Chains A and B, each alone.
Chain A
């Protein structure tokens, strides 16, 4: 199909984009990589009157300062895959992005655009949740920071105000004794995830048992979701090796699966999704643990 006609303006800076967005109101949309927005226009699922192109607004590259990996919002998925700083400080994200779209989508798609799009099956969104990332946001009243755990509201809906734009994604850099794992089930490589799991496990100072665990899930609700920390609390002070470790990981994964009520669609029933959550989460926990133990050794 063909998109309805719209006007286009290229913003030279985020300030200009915010101004244009404030003037354009409901009828204006930000165009970043366009790999989700443009299909929605072509399918006429969206029909804005004005696209504000921010691709020329920022040329910064990923950087690290004060224990944070700073990803400018326009960082392309391909850069996430290949950039040394991302691979070193957030290998979870670099790995998960392998599952996003195809070569062309990764060449254009952006990390900020992906989070702003708020797809409930988002790989990048689940990694941002699992790592405790924040987004830096610019609006008419200035800049603010929003934890990604407060960003997603519902299907394709964020807590951003109408004329706010994500300018940066801030991810705490990986620490020693920390391990990660990403698993997803798709019908075909490059498809939307049926269920995706991003897990982070951090060991205690002696690196012999678990200190903290975070699990984020995609494809299980109206937004990517952080598993209730209480359901993982039982893992603290334990190891995840051997058959008792397998049982502990499976029990935690089962508690998480039991806490969710994923809906059914043509691709999978709610029960099947819950089953996937249990299997993939247990796998991810064991792998993240092994990773952390290996990193500490």
Chain B
């Protein structure tokens, strides 16, 4: 992406050039891209220097969450790599497997170092009389401070003539209304329904090939729902809705994990029975780890999955009721 065009100079840019902030002669230009991986639509917002009231920066917990997301898998992969190397011999493939784990751990370690070097994460907004707008390309405190300082110089120059005025003596703002998460419920339903249909398709066709793709789609759909849920709960949410929401957020992935385990086990049993008939088509290898579950453990696994699914459904129902009653108040 260019650093300058026409009268504009780039102040900040986001990942993959999806959004950026530019300094113009008399206004700042925010370019917001919408799309997946790269922008499909760009929307523009112009902030007149004379009208900017404030720039605000608030740190977020994403920084620590990302540290955990990079560090924990990196440590786990490192441990796996060490275990693979220590148990490798001429008769197994653990040495190349260990090398693969080590490369993955190194990749995550590089990501972690880059993340640590970039510094804490934040939300940055520009406020005008018309409203407060989030600048999505300013996600790091250091970059946000630098951009705010540059904007500050321009805004103070443009507002040098302004004198203190009498602000209207308004009543303190009323307690905000709780916004029900209607879109969240819809998103959860769509993600669950789509995931269920895909699994059903796999079950009907009994083909493991599409499983690779769908297995990617289902966690993505669930992560979207979970992300929306956490985001909603971290805003203004009444206490009872919040506790139910966090329970639901914890139960969701656990239920998903057990269901995936169940399906994998089911496929292992199918593939195993197919192999016993002499139909060896090489499907067993990637399911072999399932063999650690003894046949006697299967009922426990299915019972646990059913219990989690039931608990998830019950808490989901209670959560929706609490949301509806809180919104009605």
Whether A and B are associated in the same complex: the answer reads no
Q: Which B residues form the contact surface with A (CB < 8 A)?
A: none
